[in-house]
Structure 1
Amino acid sequence: MTAAAGNSGASRTIGLAAGGTGGHLFPAEALARELLARGHQVVIYTERRGAAYTKALEGLPFVVLPARSLAGGLLGKLAAAFTIARAAWRARGDMRRRGVALVAGFGGYPSFAPAVAAKSRGLPLLLHEQATRLSVANRQLLRFADALAISFPSVSGAEGFDAARIVETGNPVRRDILAARAPYPALSDETPLQLLVVGGSQSARVFGETVPPALLALPERIRRRLRLSLQYKGEDADAIAARLREAGIEATIRPFFDDMGQQLANAHLVITRAGASTAADLLTVGRPAIFVPIPQGGSREEQRRNAETMAAAGAGWCVPEPELRVEGLTALLADLFGAPDKLAAAAAASSAMAQPQAAAKLADQVERMLQARAR
């Protein structure tokens, strides 16, 4: 808790609006728990996908609202507009009953209706952007926002918004990630090489197809030291693990790691996507990474910018998926595992970018806005 918390005044109820992915919901959860620790009440507005994150929402009041993207043709947009209006009406009534004093939006199209409901009631609206570029929802809501919190020193898409109302807080992470902060594991010619490969909440089939053959092509002196943790959902996971073990590589392959903090703490190198939540977790623990931005979909540009930003800061290496080839990955891994100083330097750069106090900084901003409203 930071100094501003002592001036927060009476307990208030804060609404947090988040889309249905972990990248939106986890930062909302982190802020919610920080606000609860400061004596405030909270409620999270999300949709059915977000409600499935039962561990993240444990002990937190939440409301599941109908949600629909505005993507699609005319009929799709009309249906989405009706859904948003219905969700905003429900959110407005809930805010009135709970006495919500401020709403913080974390992006994703399900956050749109609660934000609209907040402004219809004259409540302050704080937007939080996890990436280096404003999400579609946040760009549309920016005109209604009273403040914008950002995770990186600069963000694209906020041009024209009053710079005095932009505050850099970082991206709040879960408590198990904060607890995993530890010095970079020492490397020598004899120590095991811990490689973690994760593809985000949706996994990444390309990693299961490309990483194992790249590892099998490494020199034996490196293979014998490798300890691989691979997130992979393919039906051939057992067969892949067997081939790796035959080559002397200890391999753990799972569809999902529920101990991500510990996995990151153990890792000497991570191969990963470049989503905002993944980036925040990685930087918080301070580990170097090979970033492979998702090549298609709405998050393509966001992930590319995230990866290039972190690579430019020296925290890792950006390899676009179309360039992710077995031979090239083998060469890059051989170079990095053969140069511990490179990995240690990238780990230091990653740690330097971390903002472990992001949840506290964001809570400070909430309290400043509450104080300004009370005056």
Structure 2
Amino acid sequence: MPAPSRNATIALAAGGTGGHLFPAEALARELQRRGHAVVIYTERRGAQYVKALEGIPHLVLPARSLAGGLGGKLAAAFTILRATLQARRDMKRRAVALLAGFGGYPSFAPAVAAKSLQLPLLLHEQATRLSMANRRLLSYADALATSFPHVAGADGFDPARITETGNPVRAEILAARGDYPALSSDTPIDLLVVGGSQSARVFGEVVPPALLALAPEIRSRLRVALQYKGEDADAIAAQLREVGIVAEVRPFFDDMGMRLRAAHLVITRAGATTAADLLTVGRPAIFVPIPHGGSRDEQRRNAETLAEAGVGWCVPEPELTVEKLTALLGELFSSTIKLPQAAAVAASMGRPRAAAELADLVERMLTE
């Protein structure tokens, strides 16, 4: 097999959320490490992840969802056309040889541009079901990479062109891999509560009172890091500290690798990138899938799949009451066995070589 060319540029397209952009970043850095030139196409929300894009050439394209009535769809079609033309010009200028799409509607235009130039198209699906963008692009794809063994929505696509690579994670997450923190009846308990890049208001409303209702002997051991953007963040932190809980309440954590490594338990949404981070580091979680919007079914499937595997516990948001969460946390924190067992299952399902395996697939496609 001839060696893949280091002169051609490999393009990556990702939506504006961290769930789409972070896997693209992970692949881009692995390809750069191997000597390839890369470029990431995203939209204005994705461009706000300055740290993720640092040192990676990228182009911000106009993007608009196809949701809405006839007027909205016409406006979206015009936006996609503009983005497609911009991406096409940039691909020709950079001599792009292949495009890897990571989902999200902003990835649609670069994929169309790539196919108009007859370039190979690789789609990566982070979740247990193909995203809308990937479903619409699947008939044009040359290969599909998945994060799970079984992905709904790929029926009819040649199984020989499907490769399970796992979901690439950032370098800081890979660096956080290690043994589960020691847990006994008298050691501190580290609880991490995060709601994804958009945070989750419900966690700020339900988690603090649930912690306040725990038995004093558990509260005295708790060290809580809570991601919360509400104006009452300082008041929440003060309430927790008053009952002996070590508490840090911030709108965003930019050191997620370090926090995951320290955590005994994570309360979180169930996005695919969040799941990949947890599995890579090997940490158990209480999953609260987002209850509305386009991510609803995806997150529910992810949470149920991981809960059934033994990685954690799925609590739909409508069922996330103070009483139920207090009871579940009390049960988990009173045991020295349940959390380490779930952590071991998580670690066994992690795919720390996902970025490398996806880069291997890209290089194979370049030589075909």
**SS of 1:188 mapped into structure 2:** coil
Using the alignment, how far apart are the partners of 1:304 and 1:108 within structure 2? 18
Aligned partner of residue 227 in structure 1, secondary structure:
strand
- Given the two structures, how large is their TM-score scaled by the length of structure 1? 0.97
The answer on whether the counterparts of 2:172 and 2:257 sit within 8 Å (CA) in structure 1 is: yes
Aligned mates of 1:26, 1:241 — CA distance in 2: 30
Task: Give the match for residue 305 of structure 1.
Answer: 301
CA distance in 1, matches of 2:66, 2:324: 40
**Whole-angstrom CA distance in 2 between matches of 1:39 and 1:283:** 28
Question: How many angstroms does 1:127 deviate by?
Answer: 0.2
Contact 2:6-2:37 within 8 A present in 1 as well: no
Matched with 1:27 is 23
Q: Which letter maps to 1:144?
A: Y
Q: Which runs of 5+ in 1 are unaligned?
A: none
For 2:24 and 2:342, the matched residues in 1 are separated by 29
| In the alignment, structure 1 residue 272 sits paired with structure 2 residue 268 | yes
Structure 1: which 4+ aligned runs deviate by more than 4 Å? none
Distance (Å, rounded) in 2 between the aligned partners of 1:66 and 1:328? 44
Does structure 1 retain, via aligned residues, the 8 Å contact 2:127–2:151?
yes
1:176 equivalenced with 2:192 (yes/no): no
Match for 1:37 among 33, 36, 48? Answer: 33
Q: Does residue 208 of structure 1 match 2:204?
A: yes
Give the CA deviation at 1:9.
Answer: 4.5
Alignment of 1:239-254 (within 5 A): 239-254=235-250
C-alpha distance in structure 1 between counterparts of 2:153 and 2:222, whole Å = 42
Indicate if the aligned counterparts of 1:11 and 1:39 stay in contact, CA closer than 8 A. Answer: no
Amino acid at match of 1:8: P
- Residue 155 of structure 2 is matched in structure 1 by 159
Partner of 2:259: 263
Q: 1-side partners of 2:265 and 2:329: how far apart?
A: 9
- Is 1:31–1:363's contact at 8 Å kept on the other side of the alignment? yes
| Residue type at the aligned position of 2:274 | T
Residue 194 of structure 1 aligns to a residue whose secondary structure is strand
C-alpha separation in 2, matches of 1:53 and 1:321: 28
The answer for the alignment partner of 2:353 in structure 1 is 357
1:199 corresponds to: 195
Give the Cα separation in 1 of the matches to 2:273 and 2:96: 27
| CA shift for structure 1 position 339 | 1.1
- In structure 2, what is the equivalent of residue 189 of structure 1? 185
Rounded to whole Å, the distance in 2 between the matches of 1:56 and 1:333 is 34
Return the alpha-carbon distance in structure 2 between the equivalents of residues 79 and 219 of structure 1: 56
| Cα distance in 1 for residues equivalent to 2:355 and 2:42 | 19
Rounded Cα–Cα distance in structure 2 between residues aligned with 1:144 and 1:36 = 26
CA distance in structure 2 between the aligned counterparts of 1:64 and 1:325, rounded to whole angstroms: 41
The one-letter amino acid of 2:232's match is D
Q: Which amino acid aligns with 1:310?
A: L
Separation in structure 2 between the aligned mates of residue 10 and residue 252 of structure 1, nearest angstrom: 46
In structure 2, the residue corresponding to 1:340 is in which secondary structure?
A: coil
What CA distance in whole angstroms lies between the structure 2 residues aligned with 1:230 and 1:35? 34
Letter of the 2:117 partner, please give it: R
Aligned match of 2:223: 227
Q: Residue 12 of structure 1: CA displacement? A: 2.4
- Matched-pair identity in %: 76
Q: Indicate the SS of the match to 1:176.
A: helix
Partner of 1:332: 328
* Aligned-residue CA RMSD (Å): 1.0
Deviations 1:270-316 (A, max 9, x none): 00000011111111110000000000000000000000111111000
Q: What displacement does 1:8 show? A: 3.1
Letter in 1 for 2:29: R
Q: Could you state the TM-score of these two structures normalised by the residue count of structure 2?
A: 0.99
Shift, 1:197, TM fit: 0.4
Contact 1:18 1:46 in 2 (8 A): yes
Letter in 2 for 1:320: P
Q: Judge conservation of contact 1:22–1:50 (CA < 8 Å) in 2.
A: yes
Find the aligned partners of 1:253 and 1:154 in 2 and give their Cα distance.
37
Is there any run of 5+ residues in structure 2 with no aligned partner, and where?
A: none
Post-superposition offset of 1:182: 1.0
Residue matched to 1:59: 55
Q: Residue 66 of structure 1: SS of its match in structure 2? A: coil
Q: Is the 8 A contact 1:66 1:87 kept in 2?
A: yes
- The AA in structure 2 aligned to 1:223 is R
2:290 aligned counterpart, secondary structure? coil
Distance in 2, Cα, partners of 1:12 & 1:366: 12
1: CA distance, partners of 2:172 / 2:119: 32
